[in-house]
Amino acid sequence: MKIKRKRMGSRILALAIASVVLAVFGTNAFAQDSVPMATQAAVDTTWVLLAGFLVFFMQTGFAMLETGLIRQTSAVNALLENFVDASITAIAFWAVGFGVAFGVSQGGLIGGSNFFLSQAMSIGPDGLVFAKIGEVNPFFSWSTLDVFTFFFFQFAFAATASTITTGAMAERTDFVGDLIYSAIMGAISYPIVVHWVWGGGWLQQQGFVDFAGSTVVHTVGGVTALMGAILLGPRAFRIGKDGKWQPLPPAHNLGLATIGTMILWVGWYGFNPGSTLGMGSTGLVGLVVLNTTLGAAGAALVSMFFQYARSKKWDLVYTLNGSLAGLVAITAGCAFVEPWTALIIGLVAGVVVVLAADAVERARIDDPVGAFAVHAACGIWGTLAIGLFGRSELFAAAGALIPRSGLLAGGGVDLLLVQALGSGVTIGFTALFGLVMFGALKAIGRLRVSSVVDDVKVFIDDYEHAASIWPDVREAEEMLGIDPHQKAAKAAAAGD
């Protein structure tokens, strides 16, 4: 009898609690839904902001990597260019670029609204209202993010694209010219491709996918870099008195280059996982993190062993660029492929980056940091790899418009063809845009720094900044009558 009374008491207590819950929440459907929605929005916003901070910190990685790989006599120039590019891009992307990228689509070609983030907030009957990105661009109706948060994350990507370009154009670009082309990239060329692929544009409607930017960020940055390097011409010392192409001089500080690469690798954990734009699926985020790691690790090892087979030396620079090659390659498909496939993509990228760097050198194009080989060549490979290995189930989980599998996953050639189309169109548009942009800068005398620097008697740090990253070393060498350039060239010729 006592047991039955206890059970009855438990039932009465449960009914009482249920009645209270229904009384508080059951009569107001909005209140019932707002609690989990608000919580999800808070979690998603926190996640995307943290990821954006990591992506922005990649600017430090690019600055350290580029500075370490070039000559010390150009280090101040590289550091200032990398630093100020972020500032220029922030303003250009806020004023124009974000509207071009994520404004309401004009025929699938370009966004045409929300310039200066004019629709990001407003004063309504209930006070200040912060707009969701889905209210500005219906394509993002599923997102919990506000416009300001979404802008910051996308700005960090835009800054990366212009920073990639500085590496291939290092040591001989007019500083004012760098400011101009960085602003143009942040306002026009990069955002147009963003709209095509991520903003609801025509490529996205065709089913083209690029989860985190192998095409949008890296192919655009790498192809722009190549066009800039071609129109700039090589640094003066790359062509000897006999007209022969001279080898790249040794990197002046491999410690900086290594630190920069490690920062970039860490930053990629914001770049790729952050592109989920929320934590609605923790499993998807975990998959992206793992695939990113395997792609980078596999490529680093392959580049190291591949270069050893050719030179019988364990080469640090090739290993560093190999890891970046894997990161670039897996960026497009990190949410669409299985982990073992991510490793294969990285392994192939480790070879692609070495062969692409060789091809650039054979073409006598001076790319001091291998920007085209790392970002464009491996970005193209990573984009096409989705057409081979993509899984329709993962497409659906990641929210792709048209879930389908790649050729080697039993899905036929449709996905591979659309991936090739998207990559090819991006390459063509970016190359043409770069030709016009850099051609115009060249015509007005703002592409290449003064010919005084070409004498290799006055370095770009001296001419543009009146500064040196190692002033004590420069002073000691000058007292001893040592020309830093001649010393580097002799070391390169001797294979040191």
Q: Examine the pLDDT at 94 and tell me if it is beyond 70.
A: yes
pLDDT at 246: 92
Give me 300's structure tokens. 């680093």
Of 197, 188, 124, give the one whose Cα is nearest residue 162.
188
Residue 173 has pLDDT above 70, yes or no: yes
- Give all domains of the chain, ordered by start, each with its CATH number: 42-454 (1.10.3430.10)
Instruction: Tell me the C-alpha distance between 112 and 184, whole Å.
Output: 17
Distance CA 22, CA 492 (A): 78
- The mean pLDDT value for 5-14 works out to 47
**Integer Cα distance of 332 and 210 in angstroms:** 4
pLDDT tens column, 109-128: 999 999 999 999 988 788 89
Does 407 score more than 70 pLDDT?
yes
Residue 469: band (very low, low, confident or very high) from pLDDT cuts 50, 70, 90: confident
Angstrom distance (rounded) from CA 300 to CA 322: 4
pLDDT the model gives residue 477: 56
Tens of pLDDT, residue by residue over 290-341, are 999 999 999 999 999 999 999 999 999 999 999 999 999 999 999 999 999 9
Distance CA 329, CA 222 (A): 13
| CA distance linking residue 118 with residue 159, whole number of Å | 21
Per DSSP, what are the bridge partners of residue 146? 132
Tens of pLDDT along 247-259? 998 899 999 999 9
Pick the closest to residue 82 from 189, 159, 172, 155 (CA basis): 159
Q: What integer pLDDT is reported at residue 361 of this predicted model?
A: 96
Amino acid at 351: V
The pLDDT value given to residue 484: 53
Q: Which residue in 362, 367, 368, 411 sits closest to 388, CA to CA?
A: 411
pLDDT band for position 28 (50/70/90)? very low
Q: How far apart are CA 201 and CA 291, in angstroms?
A: 27
Residues 396 and 403: beta-carbon distance below 8 Å: yes
Residue in 152, 393, 132 with CA at minimum distance from that of residue 283: 393
